[in-house]
Amino acid sequence: MCSAGENHTVEPTYTTELLRFSINQQATFRWVAAPDGELIAPATASNGIGLQFYSVSGGTAECQAMFHHVE
């Protein structure tokens, strides 16, 4: 079972940082976990992994993300 949400009116509370990447927003970026380097999240309600995007320019940034998961 998997659930997802987007366009929150209030940003969810993040408690820790698993990964941080600085990327060019005009370029494509793909991250694939190394064997035994996968991200692990609790299988409980209202918990999981989130994405947070920062933009330093004056314009509105367009960000898209896709997750694939295996249980």
pLDDT tens column, 1-57: 556 666 667 777 777 788 888 777 778 888 888 888 888 877 777 777 777 777 776
The tally of CA atoms less than 13 A away on the side-chain side of residue 33 is 12
60 in a structural domain: yes
Structural domain of residue 56, as residue ranges? 1-27+40-71
pLDDT value at residue 2 = 57
Residue 35 lies in a domain: no
Query: Which residue is associated with the tokens 């309600």?
Result: 45
pLDDT at residue 59 tops 80: no
Tell me if 3 is assigned to some domain: yes
Q: How many domains does the chain have?
A: 1
Domain-embedded: residue 57? yes
Q: Report the amino acid identity of residue 46.
A: S
Q: Within a domain: residue 33?
A: no
- Band of the pLDDT at 61, cuts 50, 70, 90? low
User: Given CA atoms 67, 51, 30, 66 in this order, what sign does their dihedral have?
Assistant: positive
* Pairwise CA distance, residues 42 & 35, whole Å: 19
Residue 34 is assigned to a structural domain of this protein: no
SS3 48: coil
